[in-house]
């Protein structure tokens, strides 16, 4: 029997991809030492678990330091001696210690890295791949490599340009293997760079927070036309589709949406329907602001494509139940740091499945080199992941892990 008892938990401050501090947790158990780092969002939902951080000069602030010290003092004492394979016990113990509904006492950025590191410790002490440990927790046995939704044009809060919608993704749908799919994505990404450079000038092909290009576009059509040209030039017409994360809470002013011009919610429904009809859009995330369950439902009913809830749901069981009752979406965006423990994130995914929704595992705009979510998507067998552009280390860390998992374990890619 392997020794799986946690002998030590420590945390430290490290940097995320935006150069902001975040938390890394290290767990020593049964002679192995593993670690995990938490990411951080920019267009965060109102109902996310609380990340202890500071605005402005964050390195001088106390939030992340507080999260680190919460791990090193309170959490470490509690988790030491526990069996790292008992994920639910560890997560529940941390939730009890925190005692709030939104993890504002200890911080989701203190609890989550320990939760993730515990799963890694279970994998390492039992010589089991991490994705299988996650499969064991969730009850899933059908492992697959997810279809990547790659964000190649960045707008909204991730770019600071006039383009108000946040993410324009390319989705490789007709490929046998992940390796072929991600190759097609990267060739399209490079074609796009050339086209943007020619049309808008070289500096317009600089990149935003998730590694996608950030030309100063005025509206979604301009972005979609660029994507269509790039796909055609790269030779993948017919095998790459498009997806949008509007992140609409960020351009809602309380009565109207400012997306190139002002739209009321009903007008925005029609605008989306037009976009879907004229371009090959297969998935639309956060088309309305985060409290408008009804407009989501209206679009879901009329559009008949995948409608994804991110800020609307915040990986939160209560909000997912509301969206199920109101038929607001048919896909859950799964972000572990929105809820703060692996156990709760997996419960959210299972609730979505039970109601015949899809699940898309997602990165944050402030990411790290930790590839955990690649194993999470494979372990849940959810079939979809978004991890930004096929460029920049914090994004490719996940795609590269998927290349490894496909090759090492002979896993098949999911269809879309
Ligand atoms: P965020 O963006 O990490 O800044 O929230 C990602 C998303 O909205 O999906
Ligand atoms: Zn989103």
Cα 247 to averaged position of ligand 1 atoms, centre (Å): 8
The ligand that comes nearest to the alpha carbon of residue 38 is 1
Q: What angle do CA 53, 57, 62 make, to 5 degrees?
A: 40
* 235 in the same domain as 120: no
The confidence score (pLDDT) of residue 45 equals 95
CA distance 264 to 275: 16
Reported as a pLDDT band with limits 50, 70 and 90, residue 55 is low
The confidence score (pLDDT) of residue 411 equals 98
Judged against a pLDDT cut of 60, whether residue 20 lies above it is answered with: yes
128, 409 Cβ separation under 8 angstroms? no
Q: With CA atoms as reference, report the closest residue to 49 among 104, 115, 88.
A: 104
Cα 388 to averaged position of ligand 1 atoms, centre (Å): 10
Reported as a pLDDT band with limits 50, 70 and 90, residue 331 is very high
Mean pLDDT of 8-33: 96
CB of 310 shorter than 6 A to ligand 1: yes
* 145 in the same domain as 291: yes
CB of 173 shorter than 6 A to ligand 1: no
* 122 in the same domain as 143: no
CB of 42 shorter than 6 A to ligand 1: yes
**pLDDT for 313-324, tens place per residue?**
999 999 999 999
The closest-lying atom of ligand 1 relative to the alpha carbon of residue 41 is: 3
Judged against a pLDDT cut of 50, whether residue 303 lies above it is answered with: yes
CA distance 120 to 129: 9
Q: How far is CA 406 from CA 27, 261, 329, 384, 401, in A?
A: 27, 44, 30, 14, 9
**pLDDT for 221-258, tens place per residue?**
999 999 999 999 999 999 999 999 999 999 999 999 99
**pLDDT for 341-395, tens place per residue?**
999 999 999 999 999 999 999 999 999 999 999 999 999 999 999 999 999 999 9
Which token pair is 391? 């460029």
Cα 409 to averaged position of ligand 1 atoms, centre (Å): 30
CB of 151 shorter than 6 A to ligand 1: no
The confidence score (pLDDT) of residue 58 equals 45
CA distance 164 to 282: 20
* 152 in the same domain as 28: no
38, 28 Cβ separation under 8 angstroms? no
Cα 119 to averaged position of ligand 1 atoms, centre (Å): 24
Q: Of the residues 314, 365, 384, 387, which should be mutated to test ligand 1's pocket, given the most ligand atoms within 8 Å of the CB? A: 365
CA distance 30 to 84: 9
Specify if 189 maps to a domain.
yes
Specify if 415 maps to a domain.
no
213, 196 Cβ separation under 8 angstroms? yes
* 380 in the same domain as 294: yes
Mean pLDDT of 302-308: 98
- Which pairing describes strands 240-245 and 281-285: parallel, antiparallel, or unpaired? parallel
The ligand that comes nearest to the alpha carbon of residue 45 is 1
Cα 333 to averaged position of ligand 1 atoms, centre (Å): 10
CA distance 103 to 110: 9
Residues marked as catalytic? 210, 335
Among the candidates 106, 127, 148, a domain finishes at 127
* 276 in the same domain as 371: yes
The confidence score (pLDDT) of residue 53 equals 87
Specify if 228 maps to a domain.
yes
Cα 128 to averaged position of ligand 2 atoms, centre (Å): 32
Judged against a pLDDT cut of 60, whether residue 22 lies above it is answered with: yes
The confidence score (pLDDT) of residue 203 equals 87
Mean pLDDT of 274-287: 97
Reduced to 3 states (helix: H, G, I; strand: E, B; else coil), residue 135 is helix
Specify if 414 maps to a domain.
no
The count of structural domains within the chain is 2
The ligand that comes nearest to the alpha carbon of residue 156 is 1
The closest-lying atom of ligand 1 relative to the alpha carbon of residue 247 is: 8
217, 158 Cβ separation under 8 angstroms? no
- Is the four-CA dihedral 58, 109, 338, 209 of positive or negative sign? positive
Q: Of the residues 17, 154, 310, 398, which should be mutated to test ligand 1's pocket, given the most ligand atoms within 8 Å of the CB? A: 310
The closest-lying atom of ligand 1 relative to the alpha carbon of residue 366 is: 3
* 360 in the same domain as 279: yes
CATH, residue 44: 3.30.390.10
* 362 in the same domain as 219: yes
Specify if 168 maps to a domain.
yes
Reported as a pLDDT band with limits 50, 70 and 90, residue 54 is confident
The confidence score (pLDDT) of residue 59 equals 46
**pLDDT for 148-158, tens place per residue?**
999 999 999 99
288, 264 Cβ separation under 8 angstroms? no
* 111 in the same domain as 152: no
**pLDDT for 333-355, tens place per residue?**
999 999 999 999 999 999 999 99
Among the candidates 98, 127, 156, a domain finishes at 127
Going by C-beta distance under 8 Å and a sequence separation of 6 or more, which residues neighbour residue 52? Answer: 63, 64, 66, 67, 70, 107, 109, 110
CB of 245 shorter than 6 A to ligand 1: yes
Specify if 416 maps to a domain.
no
The confidence score (pLDDT) of residue 1 equals 82
CB of 83 shorter than 6 A to ligand 1: no
- The secondary structure element, H or E, covering residue 324 is helix 317-326
**pLDDT for 185-195, tens place per residue?**
999 999 999 99
Residue appearing with tokens 């959490």? 75
Among the candidates 127, 148, 176, a domain finishes at 127
313, 323 Cβ separation under 8 angstroms? yes
Specify if 342 maps to a domain.
yes
The closest-lying atom of ligand 1 relative to the alpha carbon of residue 40 is: 3
Per the DSSP assignment, residues forming a β-bridge with 34 are: 27
Q: Whose CA is nearest to atom 7 of ligand 1?
A: 364
Question: How many helices, marked H, and strands, marked E, lie in the chain?
Answer: 14, 13
Domain that holds residue 18: 6-127
- Which pairing describes strands 147-154 and 167-172: parallel, antiparallel, or unpaired? antiparallel
Q: Across all residues in the chain, what is the average pLDDT?
A: 96
CB of 156 shorter than 6 A to ligand 1: no
Mean pLDDT of 35-62: 82
Cα 39 to averaged position of ligand 1 atoms, centre (Å): 10
* 332 in the same domain as 221: yes
CATH, residue 366: 3.20.20.120
Specify if 133 maps to a domain.
no
* 220 in the same domain as 343: yes
CB of 395 shorter than 6 A to ligand 1: no
* 378 in the same domain as 289: yes
CB of 115 shorter than 6 A to ligand 1: no
366, 18 Cβ separation under 8 angstroms? yes
Cα radius of gyration (the chain)? 21
Neighbours of ion ligand 2 (CB under 5 A): 245, 310
Which token pair is 371? 């590839």
CB of 38 shorter than 6 A to ligand 1: no
């Amino acid at each position: 029997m392997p020794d799986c008892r946690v002998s030590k938990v420590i945390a430290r401050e490290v940097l995320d991809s935006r150069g902001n501090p975040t938390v890394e947790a290290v767990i020593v158990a049964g002679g192995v030492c593993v670690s995990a780092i938490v990411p951080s969002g920019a267009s965060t939902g109102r109902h996310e678990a609380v990340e202890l951080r500071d605005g402005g000069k964050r390195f001088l602030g106390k939030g992340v330091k507080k999260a680190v010290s919460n791990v090193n003092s309170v959490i470490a004492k509690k988790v030491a001696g526990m069996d790292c394979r008992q994920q639910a016990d560890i997560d529940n113990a941390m939730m009890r210690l925190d005692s709030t509904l939104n993890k504002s006492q200890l911080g989701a950025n203190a609890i989550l890295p320990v939760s993730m590191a515990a799963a890694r410790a279970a994998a390492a002490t039992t010589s089991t791949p991490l994705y299988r440990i996650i499969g064991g927790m969730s009850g899933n046995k059908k492992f697959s490599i997810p279809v990547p939704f790659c964000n190649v044009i960045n707008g909204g809060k991730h770019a600071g340009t006039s383009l108000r919608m946040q993410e324009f993704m390319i989705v490789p749908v007709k490929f046998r293997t992940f390796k072929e799919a991600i190759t097609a994505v990267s060739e399209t990404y490079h074609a796009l760079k050339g086209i943007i450079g020619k049309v808008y000038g070289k500096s317009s092909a600089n990149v935003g927070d998730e590694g996608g290009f950030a030309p100063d576009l005025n509206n979604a059509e301009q972005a979609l036309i660029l994507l269509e040209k790039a796909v055609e030039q790269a030779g993948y017409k017919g095998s790459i589709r498009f997806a949008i994360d509007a992140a609409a809470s960020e351009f809602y002013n309380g009565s109207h949406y400012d997306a190139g011009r002002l739209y009321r919610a009903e007008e925005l429904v029609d605008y989306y329907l037009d976009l879907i009809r004229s371009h090959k859009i297969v998935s639309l995330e956060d088309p309305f602001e985060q409290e408008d369950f009804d407009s989501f439902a209206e679009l879901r009913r009329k559009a008949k494509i995948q409608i994804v809830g991110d800020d609307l749901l915040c990986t939160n069981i209560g909000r997912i139940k509301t969206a199920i009752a109101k038929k607001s979406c048919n896909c859950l965006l799964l972000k572990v740091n929105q809820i703060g423990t692996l156990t709760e994130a997996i419960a959210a995914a299972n609730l979505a499945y039970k109601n015949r929704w899809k699940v898309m595992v997602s990165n944050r705009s402030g990411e790290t080199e930790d590839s955990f979510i690649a194993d999470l998507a494979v372990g849940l067998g959810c079939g979809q992941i978004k991890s930004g552009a096929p460029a920049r280390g914090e994004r490719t860390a996940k795609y590269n892990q998927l290349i490894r998992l496909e090759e090492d374990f002979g896993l098949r890619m999911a269809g879309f």
